[in-house]
Amino acid sequence: MRPFVFAIGVFSLAGICSGETSLPGCEPRPEVRKELKEKLAYPALEKLKWADRVARQYEVLDGLIARYPRELEPYRRLIEFVDWYTDDYPDLRERFQQQAKQHPDDPLALYLAGVVLFHTDTPESIRVLEAAKAKAPDFAWPNLELAQIYSSGKTVDKKKASEYLTAFFSICPASGDPTAQRMLGKAGDPAIQVRVAAALRTSLAKATDPERLEQYEALWALEFRTRPPQEHAALRLQVAEDLKRLESLNPKPDVLWVAFLKQAYKQSGAPEATVTALEDRILREFPFADNVPRMLYGRWTKTHKEPEAADTAGWAVWNHAYKEAVKGWIRDFPEVAYFAGDAWFSAIRKDNSISEVDGIAVLDGYLKYNAEYDRPMSYVYLGASDFLLDHKWQLKRAVELLRKAQSLEAEEGARQADDNLSATEQEEAEKDRIEGRQIDARRFLHAARIAGQLEEVQSLRSSIEGPPPAIKSFESDYWRNRALLAVLDNRKADGLAYYLLAFQTLTSPPQPWRGKTEDDLADEARALWKEMGGTESAWAAFSRPSVDKVQEAGEARWEKPKQQLPAFELADLSGQSWTLKRLEGKSILINIWATWCGPCNAELPQLEKLYEKMKDRTDFQILSFNVDEDLGLVEPFLKEKGYKFPVLPAYNLVRNVLNTVGIPQNWVVDPRGTWRWTQIGFGGPTDWMDDMIQRLESVKKAEGGL
């Protein structure tokens, strides 16, 4: 057992045994907040390697718990850190459970046990949290945890979630706690959001502690969400007034404060030069900050727009320019290990012109960087293995990396186990498991074929040769794996038969990505076809799916929603009101997006093109539901991009409809107002617009042309 677990038990029990019965308040003590920021934020951790960062977290949090055993924030930070970044969570959970059993009358001990039991034994978590609440009605935090439990998953009960959240804010009316604010957007009704915004503004007006003042970000998010778009211009003026006071209160700002000011100036509608100047300050004064790489990449992409997916020549130019940019960042920020270790590998990963010596050197640097500066994750070793297999270098090592990745995947799956998943979430999790197993099997089959190591797939044989999956979109990969295994077994005729089935069950054709259209299925099958003496003319007939199969493929890209669309009434950012009732008679496409979502940013240009094409049609309507928590950042984003499609702030609505929100999403609603189809994710722009129009037309025809 790690020392930190022993320390928690000794120190927290010492506080209880000494007769101390005080309970944590709504905010951390200023001295605790200050120490957390000084010792666990920039620049305290930025230059440390991963093992040293973990040790520092334990050291600081242990020390705070020892000195402040009845203060909540160090415990919360420890629970979050151990859960996300270590393998020690079972030990931590056991220790807090034992503590609650030894001190069943202590609300703090019960609360901590309730927190660590959520997702593992959720019914017991509810029981101990309710016990904590009963023993100390004025202790706010059990209410917030119960609100989270009842907000989603198997235990979802929106009425209870709202009641517990209301109870929390009745005790802590001006809380700017990030978890409380997220829950307020998810489960709080409009009235309580307005009350909290007013209380938080009053409280912050008296605050001078910079760490506390950063909660203005939560305040502004609340105010933009709870005020109609017609008042947003006035809100931006209010943000500007707030900034005048804020800048005078922190004469020695750290990087978090400057980043906070940057976002605030964006929301205030300040000129772009003001925001750029703050970014320059971060780059100049805080070059090791973890947001520096993201900032540099964001700046670079503003002047280097990505070409269309199929533009081969355009992508060749873009890729060359990006590699030169990364070289420049490596030169200008030599102590930021990320650039040479991670960014450079990503830049050359698909470069077929790189020599083996240079490629292996880059790969070694990538693996070394991730081993030293991050927790071991399966995707790192999968990427490394794929790189070697794609280039046909060090094949034995590629297989070893693949084994390492598979081992880590198993550990990651165990850590993600959750006893509170809803039926829909369980179904999605099972889909992910099936897809993951198929992809892993194909990687090993691919490695075995290239490296000539057939023994690597023997343990997978029974799963590969089992019955086909019931999910249509997984059938093609199943038959492809059967074909690869058959070829490895020298059953080539069987392999061709399985490849034919893989073509016939394909649900989406290969899409161009960064100027290339990679079709591994066709390449594998065609090589076998030629090896067996097949002709080019016969190959065309063999590899072309039937008309019916093409139609099935289009259907499989969409899913039937399991929820009903509420009769919404929302105003867009221009102030125009939209209601589902008044849209009857039109086929509606609703795109769900956020400014921070990468795939959304890839899809939005296609949405804009579709809107421009369809905006004058009286039988169609294109809308978008934005789910940004910081709504004040959305309008500046739209102006920067030049988007004109209607944007309806819909954070609360979408969160209430979907317990778990994966974006981007596209919802198709028929002319009667019935939600008919959902598509999740963005697969590429090649046929995106045609696909959307076809779907809109199909629901229009199904409703008799209403």
The pLDDT tens digits of the residues spanning 271-292 come to 999 999 999 999 999 998 888 9
Distance CA 379, CA 436 (A): 12
Confidence class for position 19, pLDDT limits 50, 70, 90 = low
If asked whether residues 495 and 615 sit together in one domain, one would say no
Q: Which residue did the predictor score with more confidence, 188 or 453?
A: 188
* pLDDT (0 to 100) of residue 115: 98
Residue 688 lies in a domain: yes
Do 527 and 617 have their domain in common?
A: no
The verdict on 517 and 586 lying in the same domain is no
Predicted local confidence at residue 107, as pLDDT: 97
Q: Which of 236, 262, 286 is the last residue of a domain?
A: 286
Band (634; pLDDT cuts 50, 70, 90): very high
Of residues 655 and 204, more confidently modeled: 204
Q: Is residue 525 part of a domain?
A: yes
Q: Within this chain, do residues 582 and 680 fall inside the same structural domain, yes or no?
A: yes
Q: Which of 507, 526, 557 is the last residue of a domain?
A: 557
Return phi, psi of residue 588, to 5°: -120, 135
Positive or negative torsion for Cα 480, 481, 487, 490: negative
Residue 480 resides in a domain? yes
Per residue in 153-197, pLDDT (tens digit) is: 999 999 999 999 999 999 999 999 999 999 998 888 889 999 999
Q: Is residue 123 part of a domain?
A: no
Q: Is residue 26 part of a domain?
A: no
Cα 184 to Cα 69, 192, 421, 558, 655: the distances in Å are: 28, 8, 21, 32, 11
Whether residue 664 has a cis bond before it, omega within 30° of 0: yes
Q: Where are the alpha helices (DSSP H) in 509-587?
A: 520-531, 536-543, 547-556
Is residue 629 located within the same domain as residue 679? yes
The reported pLDDT for the residue numbered 13 is: 42
Cβ within 8 Å of residue 244, ≥6 positions away: none
Tokens of 560: 């039937």
Q: Is 537 exposed, middle or buried (0-12, 13-18, 19+ CB in 10 A)?
A: exposed
Check whether 512 has a pLDDT greater than 90. Answer: no
Structure confidence at residue 126 (pLDDT): 98
Q: What is the pLDDT of residues 221-230, one digit of tens each?
A: 999 999 999 9
Closest CA to 306 of 591, 518, 593, 606: 606
* Cα separation values, 506 from 440, 543, 679, Å: 19, 11, 17
Average pLDDT taken over every residue of the chain: 89
Cα Rg, the chain, nearest whole Å: 28
Are the C-beta atoms of 170 and 139 separated by less than 8 Å?
Answer: no
The answer as to whether 216 is a domain residue is no
Task: Convert the pLDDT of each residue in 370-395 to its tens digit.
Answer: 999 999 999 999 999 999 999 999 99
Cα 75 to Cα 58, 88, 102, 119: the distances in Å are: 11, 15, 18, 18
- Specify which residues 679 forms β-bridges with: 666
My answer on whether 691 and 589 are in the same domain is yes
The predicted model gives 428-457 an average pLDDT of 87
Examine the fold and report which residue of 491, 526, 557 is the final residue of a domain before the chain moves on: 557
Give 237-257 pLDDT, tens digit per residue: 999 999 999 999 998 899 999
In this structure, what CATH number is given to the domain that contains residue 679?
A: 3.40.30.10
Tell how strand 587-593 and strand 577-579 pair up. Answer: unpaired
Whether residue 3 is predicted with pLDDT greater than 70 in this model: the reply is no
Q: Are residues 639 and 601 in the same domain?
A: yes
Secondary structure string (H, E, C) spanning 398-425: HHHHHHHHHHHHHHHHHHCCCCCCCHHH
Quick one: how many helices (H) and strands (E) in the chain? 34, 7
Please tell me whether residues 536 and 639 are part of one structural domain: no
Q: What pLDDT is attached to residue 468?
A: 93
Tell me, yes or no, whether 249 lies in a domain. yes
- What local confidence, expressed as pLDDT, does residue 546 receive? 47
Domain that holds residue 608: 569-702
Up-side HSE of residue 571: CA atoms within 13 Å toward CB? Answer: 13
- The pLDDT of 252-276, averaged and rounded, is 93
- Buried b / exposed e across 185-195, counting CB within 10 Å, b at 16+? bbbbeeebbbb
How many other β-carbons are positioned within 10 Å of the β-carbon of residue 330?
17
584 and 635, same domain (yes or no) = yes
In this structure, the answer to whether residues 663 and 578 fall within a common structural domain is yes
Q: How does DSSP classify residue 469?
A: P
Model confidence over 321-341: pLDDT tens digits? 999 999 999 999 998 999 999
- pLDDT above 90 covers a percentage of the chain that reads 69
Per-residue model confidence (pLDDT) at position 308: 83
Residues 614 and 666 in one domain: yes
pLDDT tier, 553 (very low <50, low <70, confident <90, very high otherwise): very low
Residues 552 and 677 reside in one and the same domain: no
Checking DSSP bridges between strand 587-593 and strand 647-649, what pairing results, if any?
unpaired
pLDDT tens digits, residue range 305-315?
A: 888 878 899 99
356 vs 365: CA distance, rounded Å? 14
| pLDDT value of position 556 | 43
pLDDT band, very low/low/confident/very high, at 613 (cuts 50, 70, 90): very high
- Using an 8 Å Cβ cutoff, are 342 and 366 in contact? yes
Structural domain total, the chain:
3
Instruction: Evaluate whether residue 520 is within a structural domain.
Output: yes
Structure confidence at residue 555 (pLDDT): 43
- In this prediction the pTM is 0.88
The answer, yes or no, to whether residue 533 has pLDDT greater than 70, is: yes
Convert the pLDDT of each residue in 650-663 to its tens digit: 988 887 777 666 78
